[in-house]
A and B are shown apart, each in its own frame.
Chain A
Amino acid sequence: MKKLISVCAFFALTGCSTVTNLVDAYLTRYDTNQYKIVNDIRTVAGVGKTKCNDPQEAGKLANHLAFDTLTLMNFVEFQPHNQHIQNSSIELNKIAQDLSQRYSTGSVSVAFCKIKFQIIEDAAKLIQQSEGNKPK
Chain B
Amino acid sequence: MSIEQQQQQLAICYVNSQDPSLQMAAKAINEYTEYCKNGQISKEEYVQLLQDIQSQINIRREVSDQNTLNTVNTVINSLINIATMIG
Using CB atoms and an 8 Å cutoff, list the residues of chain A in contact with chain B: 21-22, 24-26, 28, 84-85, 87-88, 91-92, 94-95, 98, 102, 108-112, 115-116, 119, 122-123, 126-127, 129-130, 133-135
Q: Sorted from nearest, which 10 A-B pairs have the closest CB atoms? A: A25-B72, A84-B66, A111-B40, A91-B55, A112-B45, A84-B62, A25-B69, A88-B62, A87-B62, A130-B66
Q: Are B69 and A109 in contact (CB under 8 A)?
A: no
A135 touching B74 in the complex, CB below 8 Å, given contacts A24-B69, A109-B42 = yes
A127 engages B63 (CB within 8 Å):
yes
Are A130 and B41 closer than 8 Å at their CB atoms? no
Chain A residues with CB under 8 A of B73? 25-26, 28, 134-135
Contact B59 A134 (CB under 8 A): no
Task: Given A94-B55, A135-B70, A135-B74, check contact A112 B62 (CB 8 Å).
Answer: no
Across the interface, which residues of B come within 8 angstroms of A28, CB to CB? 66, 69-70, 73
Does B67 interact with chain A (Cβ within 8 Å)? yes
* Contact B58 A87, beta carbon cutoff 8 Å: yes
Q: How far is the CA of A130 from the CA of B42 in the complex (A)?
A: 34
> Which residues of A sit under 8 angstroms from B52, Cβ to Cβ?
95, 98, 116, 119
Residues of A within 8 A of B76 (CB): 22, 25-26
Residues of B within 8 A of A110 (CB): 40
In the bound assembly, the distance between CA atoms of A24 and B74 in angstroms comes to 12
Q: Are the CB atoms of A98 and B48 closer together than 8 Å?
A: yes
Q: How far is the CA of A25 from the CA of B71 in the complex (A)?
A: 8
